[in-house]
């Protein structure tokens, strides 16, 4: 009898606590989630809606009432060099990421491990370049790119993206390298390993999460880059995804909203997939800049 009353009381307090959590945490967080997701949901809905429904002011814009259509996607494939843009983005992002991660590993290692004159100033210099926004440098960089004879080629992007990727990745990797104990490496070096070998065989395998994180961020930043790609490359078929969708699908006052949204969807998909697979790496990379 007493037991039953006690159980009932526990249940009641539990239910009350759950209700309180619902009203003080879950309901207040809902507007944030809707605010974050609605534009992306609307992007997808628009890209799958027929023009008749899209441009009917009386239809409800939030969902698709008159059937899904792939016509915006087929228009994108048939009438624009869309898949070229996709391939260009992929080539540039993968190459720039590979170059940047290699350079950053090489630069972060001495900063985290070795004592040498000028270490502090180089660290500060990396930090400053990390903060330099591309919008400060695009004008002079475009004349450097011209002078190198790289304008209107994907090389202009492969060469310039590392300018913001290397500082970021170096900073990130420095933090990761410092968390790996020095002693294991010292042992390897006593056994006759060179610095380079010990870094390659001992440190890097221990810092794989850091490497994944750096590569993910480098890829994301390259894929999302807009200003340099807009300035350095002008032939339509050489554009990257972000620039191509924006500049080639808007002709004067005619907007192909369905296809624009279809392009935006496909352009976001590689990043969203990487994001879903590696959410924790994104979170740790994002916070390490500010916390470490």
Partner 1 sequence: MTLKTADLDLAVPVTGEAPCRRAGVLTRESRTAYAFIAPAFFLLTFLVAYPFVLSVWFSLSDARVGTTGSFVGLGNFGRLFSSSIFVQTLQNSILFTAAALTAKIVLGMALALLLFRIKHFKRLIRGAVLLPFIVPTALSTLVWWWMFEPLYSVVNWTLKSLRLADHDIPWLPDPYLAMFVVILVNVWRGLPFFAITLLAGLVAIPRELYEAAEADGAGPVGRFWHITLPLLTPVLAVVILFSAIFTLSDFNIVYVLTKGGPMNMTHLFATYSFALGLQGGEIGQGAAVSLFLFPILLAVVFLQLRLVRKAALYE
Touching partner 1, residues 27-46 (CB under 8 A) = 28-29, 32-33, 35-37, 39-40, 42-43, 46
Tokens linked to 16: 């009350």
Three-class SS state of 179: helix
Nearer to partner 1, 6 or 26 (CB): 26
Does residue 126 contact residue 60 with C-beta atoms inside 8 Å?
A: no
Within positions 111 to 170, which residues make up the interface with partner 1, using CB under 8 A?
Answer: 111, 114-119, 122, 124-129, 131-144, 159-160, 162-163, 166-167, 170
Nearer to partner 1, 91 or 246 (CB): 246
Nearer to partner 1, 71 or 129 (CB): 129
Nearer to partner 1, 204 or 282 (CB): 282
Q: Nearest distance from residue 264's CB to partner 1, in Å?
A: 4
Within positions 188 to 217, which residues make up the interface with partner 1, using CB under 8 A?
Answer: 195-196
Query: Which of 202, 207, 205 shows the shortest CA–CA distance to 191?
Result: 202
Give the DSSP H/E element, type plus range, for residue 250.
strand 250-251
d(CA 27, CA 269): 29
- Contact track, partner 1, 89-118, x by CB under 8 A: --------------xx-xx-xxx--xxxxx
Within positions 67 to 86, which residues make up the interface with partner 1, using CB under 8 A?
Answer: none
Q: How far is CA 112 from CA 41, 74, 92, 143, 289, in A?
A: 43, 51, 29, 35, 15
Three-class SS state of 132: coil
């Amino acid at each position: 009898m007493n037991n039953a009353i006690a159980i009932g009381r526990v249940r009641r307090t539990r239910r009350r606590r759950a209700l309180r959590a619902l009203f003080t945490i879950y309901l207040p967080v809902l507007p944030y989630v809707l605010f974050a997701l609605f534009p992306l949901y609307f992007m997808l809905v628009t890209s799958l809606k027929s023009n008749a429904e899209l441009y009917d002011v009386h239809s409800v814009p939030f969902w698709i009432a008159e059937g899904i259509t792939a016509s915006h996607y087929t228009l994108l494939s048939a009438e624009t060099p869309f898949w070229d843009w996709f391939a260009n983005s992929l080539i540039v992002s993968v190459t720039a990421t590979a170059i940047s991660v290699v350079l950053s590993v090489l630069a972060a290692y001495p900063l985290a491990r070795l004592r040498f004159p000028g270490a502090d100033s180089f660290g500060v210099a990396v930090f400053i370049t990390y903060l330099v926004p591309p919008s400060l440098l695009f004008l002079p960089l475009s004349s450097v790119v011209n002078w190198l004879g790289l304008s209107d080629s994907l090389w202009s992007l492969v060469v310039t993206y590392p300018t913001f990727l290397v500082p970021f990745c170096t900073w990130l990797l420095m933090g990761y390298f410092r968390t790996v104990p020095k002693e294991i490496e010292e042992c390897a070096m006593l056994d006759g390993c060179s610095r380079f070998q010990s870094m390659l065989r001992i440190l890097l395998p221990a810092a794989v999460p850091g490497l994944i994180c750096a590569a993910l961020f480098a890829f994301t930043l390259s894929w999302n880059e807009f200003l340099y790609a807009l300035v350095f490359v002008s032939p339509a078929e050489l554009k990257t995804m972000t620039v191509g969708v924006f500049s080639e699908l808007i002709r004067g006052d005619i907007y192909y909203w369905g296809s624009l949204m279809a392009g935006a969807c496909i352009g976001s998909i590689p990043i969203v997939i990487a994001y879903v697979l590696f959410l924790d790496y994104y979170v740790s990379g994002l916070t390490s800049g500010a916390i470490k």
